[in-house]
Amino acid sequence: MKTPSTFARRTLLKMAAAIAFTGALSVPLSANAAQAQVDSIHFLVPGGAGGGWDGTARGTGEALKKSGLVKKVSFQNLSGGGGGKAIAYLIETAEQQKNTLMVNSTPIVIRSLTGVFPQSFRDLTPVAGTIADYGALVVRNNSPYKHWNDVVADFRESPRNVKFAGGSTRGSMDHLVPAAAIKEEGFDPRSLRYIAYDAGGKAMAGLLSGEADLLSTGLGEALEMAKAGQVRILATTAPKRTPDAPNVPTLKEMGNNTVFANWRGFFGAPGMSDSKRDELAKVLGDMYDTEAWETVRSRNGWVNDYKPASEFVSFLESQEEQVGSLMRELGFLK
Amino acid sequence: MLDGILTGLGTAVMPMNLLMVFVGCFVGTFIGMLPGLGPISAIALMIPITYGLEPSSGIILMAGVYYGAIFGGSTSSILINAPGCSSTVVTAFDGYPMAQKGQAGKALALAAYASFTGGTISAIFLLVAAPALASVSLSFQSADYFALMVLGLTAVAAFSGKGQVLKALLMTVLGLMISTVGTDRSTGVERFTFGYIDLMDGISFLLLAMATFALAEVVMAVLKRDHLKEEENQTDSSQIGSMAVTKEEVKEVAPTALRSSVLGFIVGVLPGAGATIAAFLAYGMERNLAKAKEKLKFGSGSLRGLVAPEAANNASSSGSFVPLLTLGIPGSGTTAIMLGALIAYGIQPGPRMMIDNPDVFWSVIVSMYIGNIVLLILNLPLIPYISKLLMIPRTVLVPMILFFAITGVYLVSFNTFDIYMMVVFCAAAIGLRMLNFPMAPLLLGFVLGGLMENNLRRALMISDGSLSFLWERPITLVIVCITVLVLAAPVIQRLLQKKRNQSAPDTEFSAVNNEKKA
């Protein structure tokens, strides 16, 4: 009988695979730091492996580790409730989360406004905003729209003429950006036709198939799409033209005052001491000058946008106000 | 283009890249076999490794892992009724009954041949027509996707045996209902979440499939432990059986493999569908094409029912490289991760990729062809060993399946709520199975429901609420017509048969009668 031995071997193999697998997700990279500013940082990712939050946390962790700014980094994924699960977890276990940084982005503002989760950024300790992306409105190469004003003219004729596609649900960032732009032109944002797709890629397919006229997405993604050569970027919501896209006009320079930034940043547990917060914010700030960060940044096409502690908080407050008033007008909030 | 293919061949057969094909296929098959761990987990695991490689090698490795995982996923579907990944759920419908009948070896071998056929045919399609096919991916609009999903729903017939029609329909409706849980995309409103934030993102297909198949299966096995009959079955199913496939069997399944490969490839090319849908559609198509007698075999170990989804899901995974490479559009979570990896290499997938990075473009496609051969060589000799899994005593096998099924689902979301949810679904599934409700239509309704609803909502919004989108575009109209035909076929058949029976004594009269009718 060779059953037992076969079985034992297989079990061992499976176990090894399982361990290797979980290991790759959570075990810190080997230590090689000389003078680290911070001993260890534990990154909490409110979404699954492979998403945007995951990439930001792991990229930042990799840069901090390789540059020797932090001795040890570890990661933990906890998805659910659009990030609400991780927020609740961070608050509940605040005592044990002295070195934890949770990654998040604009949706934390939107989702706490709409009541997806009861908490807001005020229940956490905002440490620093690190990177930003702007909204972009994209059209097919052969689209009759050459200028934002063409869209406005068509919209004036009838709001039914213009169909905006986006890779997320109604009331999400992809919806809010065109709604804000339309509102700036003096129209009722509720008359906007927004067609929601399951993901950015599918929204892009919708635009290219001709069933939608404009696509609302992030500038980073839009630039990649434009490089592929099938679409043009009509306008961005950046305050001024960005170095990565010097030829793309901003809405602002076309007389529409919509400015909208989708940030990504890090939060600590509630009750984090000011000194700890400043220490973490400083290490994130020092990261920008390292080669390791530049590698990660350029690999992902991120735009540096450092906002430490108090600056971060006031930015969050102003964004909350901007998004809140727009969502009230769209009827998402009462 | 010939230049390109030659460049690709040159790059693909470099020792390093051949090694990557091999490693990718091996790792992919292995991870795919573990219940619940599918291509996404496998590729996410590979990403850190690919950073140190040349772009072509990295992408070849990831592609190998991708189709390797889909290839390997069928093994656990067949042997233990625990789908390795979502696209091999359908494989369990007929593969597991075969294993129970003591034909595990044959089932695994057929699955391997079918996957090979699917993979090879679509690699050839990719090679000769990838750029031209880009326009196919873009010709589909929401209305067409909606029609396609409705057509897919007709596959429910494939799951309803004698006297089971009502039960199958009920389960389909239940599946459609479960698919509405979560945030509604078109309005942003939460539905059936009962205030749980964990339900906001909806329920994942893999979770539902693992709970209703893998978990329910092992718990049923424990519940039925004392039955003597079951003991007999147990000894019976531990027989692996011969791997040999007879000439007649090859003849029977060859057309199925070809049809399903083509169908799977086309569905894969569409960014809004995917390998799981492809497998369901191929299964449904085979059932609808089968003769009345064969129809009854579906769900209880039909060879065609096994071959169709296997060929289709592999063809579809290769097909999904068309929108990824030629348009830069990812059709699934897996290809989205690969898109990110390509961009990280500084390669922009899209119409220009063939011109800017011909070596990467063509070598990936050529490597798929090589990869399919590697998979076949790798897997066929392993079948006798792998199928020994069935000889593991149940006391060991049951906890192992439980462990891997639950870990597999947990590792996707890292949310413990998912585990509770699995338990609830498993309990419900056991109750329903005891009442002889089939589980497959539930999954069919669920997997098609979400896509069907979202596409219908979009189509309605685009056409200003008018139903005219159903016939305005030729593609939609064709799909709608096929659906009507499929639904009407059995009715017409029965009417004709009735007539024939009535007029059987007097054939001359019936001929005249038919002419008059015409």
Q: Are B138 and B263 in contact (CB under 8 A)?
A: no
Mean pLDDT, residues B211-224 taken together: 85
> Which residues partner with A72 through β-bridges?
A40
Position A257: which residue type?
Answer: N
CA distances from residue B475 to B147, B329, B330 in whole angstroms, order as listed: 9, 21, 22
Tell me how far apart the alpha carbons of residues A180 and A262 are, in angstroms, rounded to a whole number: 14
DSSP summary character for residue B256: H
| B446-489 per-position pLDDT tens digit | 988 988 999 999 999 998 888 888 888 898 999 999 888 888 87
Confidence at residue A23, expressed as pLDDT on a 0 to 100 scale:
39
Q: pLDDT at position A77, please?
A: 85
User: Chain A: nearest CA to B30, how far in angstroms?
Assistant: 9
The DSSP-derived string for A204-228 is HHHHHHTS-SEEEEEHHHHHHHHHH
- Among A138, A301, A106, smallest CA distance to A220 is for A301
Residue A127 in this model has a pLDDT that exceeds 50? yes
**pLDDT for res B163:** 67
* In contact, B256 and B286? CB cutoff 8 Å: yes
Mutual angle of helices B216-223 and B416-434, in 10-degree steps = 50
Q: Which residue from A11, A117, A209 is facing B138, i.e. has the nearest CB? A: A209
Joined together, the tokens standing for residue A221 give: 């993604």
**Residue B158 and residue B298 in contact, taking contact as beta carbons nearer than 8 Å:** yes
With a pLDDT cut of 90, the percent of chain B lying above it is 23
Taking contacts as CB-CB distances below 8 angstroms, the residues of chain B near A208 are 138, 327, 329
Residue of B nearest to A48 (CA): B413
Q: pLDDT-derived band of residue B239, with 50, 70 and 90 as boundaries?
A: low
Give the span between the Cα atoms of B439 and B212, in whole angstroms: 7
CA B5, B6, B12: angle at the middle one, nearest 5? 85
Q: Is the pLDDT of residue A112 over 50?
A: yes
- Give the residue from B190, B197, B322, B348 with the most A CB atoms within 10 Å of its CB, the best one to mutate: B197
Token digits of residue B169: 């329909």
- Using CB atoms and an 8 Å cut-off, which of residues 268-327 of chain B contact chain A? 271-272, 323, 327
From the list A50, A229, A230, the residue facing B40 with the nearest CB is A50
Chain A and chain B share a number of CB contacts under 8 A equal to 169
- Chain A CB contacts of B138 below 8 Å: 205, 208-209
Tell me the helix, strand and coil percentages in chain B, rounded to 5. Answer: 80, 0, 20
pLDDT digits (tens, 9 = 90+) for A231-279: 999 999 999 898 888 899 999 999 999 999 899 999 999 999 999 999 9
Q: How far apart are CA B418 and CA B399, in angstroms?
A: 19
Q: What is the pLDDT of residue B389?
A: 75
Quick one: which of A332, A333, A312, A300 has its CA closest to A62? A300
B residues 64-123 near A, CB within 8 Å? none
Residue A205 is nearest to which of B44, B138, B407, comparing CB atoms? B138
* pLDDT, mean of residues B30-47: 79
Quick: pLDDT tens for B364-421.
888 888 899 998 988 888 888 887 777 778 788 888 888 888 888 887 777 888 999 9
Q: Is the four-CA dihedral A153, A159, A162, A166 of positive or negative sign? A: positive
- Asked if A55 and B464 come within 8 Å (Cβ–Cβ), the reply is no
pLDDT at site A279: 94
Q: Cα distance from B458 to chain A (closest Cα, Å)? A: 6
Judged against a pLDDT cut of 70, whether residue A329 lies above it is answered with yes
Test mutation, B79, B329, B337, B401, chain A, max A CBs within 10 A: B329
Q: Is B297 helix (H, G, I), strand (E, B) or coil?
A: coil
What does A144-183 look like in DSSP terms, one character per residue? S--SHHHHHHHHHH-GGG-EEEESS-TTSHHHHHHHHHHH
- pLDDT at residue B128 greater than cutoff 60: yes
Residues A200-232: tens digit of each pLDDT? 888 988 999 999 999 999 888 888 888 878 899
Determine the 3-state secondary structure of B21 from DSSP. Answer: helix
Min Cα–Cα distance to chain A from B20, Å? 19
* Alpha-carbon gap: B250 to the closest alpha carbon of chain A (Å): 32
B404 touching A (Cβ < 8 Å): yes
User: Nearest-CA residue of chain B relative to A87?
Assistant: B197
Asked if A205 and B137 come within 8 Å (Cβ–Cβ), the reply is yes
Q: Do A169 and B188 touch (CB under 8 A)?
A: yes
Contact call for B414 and A300, based on CB within 8 A: no
Query: Which sign does the torsion angle of CA B463, B464, B465, B466 carry?
Result: negative
pLDDT score, position B84: 76
Structure tokens at B128: 């000769």
Interchain proximity B330–A199, CB inside 8 Å = yes
Report residue A158's pLDDT band, with 50, 70 and 90 as the boundaries: very high
Cα gap A214→A295, rounded to integer Å = 33
SS (H, E, C) A39-59: EEEEEEECCCCCCHHHHHHHH
Contact A228 B142 (CB under 8 A): no
Compute φ and ψ for A218, nearest 5 degrees.
-80, 150
Q: In 3-state terms, what secondary structure has residue A116?
A: coil
Q: Nearest-CA distance from B180 to chain A in Å?
A: 14
Using pLDDT thresholds of 50, 70 and 90, give the confidence band for residue B288: confident
Specify the pLDDT at position A10: 43
Asked if B142's CB is within 8 angstroms of A50's CB, the reply is no
Q: Is B131 at the interface with chain A, CB within 8 A?
A: no
How much of chain B exceeds pLDDT 70, in percent? 92
Whether B34 and A14 lie within 8 Å, measured CB to CB: yes
Asked if the model's pLDDT at residue B139 lies above 80, the reply is: yes
The C-alpha atoms of residue A326 and residue A316 are separated, in whole angstroms, by: 15
State yes or no: ipTM above 0.90: no
Of residues A17 and A289, which shows the higher confidence score?
A289
CB of B341 less than 8 A from some CB of A = no
Q: Say whether A38 sits in a helix, a strand or coil.
A: strand
Query: Does B185 contact A170 at a Cβ distance shorter than 8 Å?
Result: yes
Per domain, the residue ranges of chain B are 2-238+245-404+411-502
pLDDT tens digits, A131-143: 988 999 999 999 9
Distance from CA of B509 to the nearest CA of A (A): 55
Is the C-alpha dihedral spanning A170, A175, A176, A178 positive or negative? negative
**A84–B339 CB contact, under 8 Å:** no
DSSP A29: P
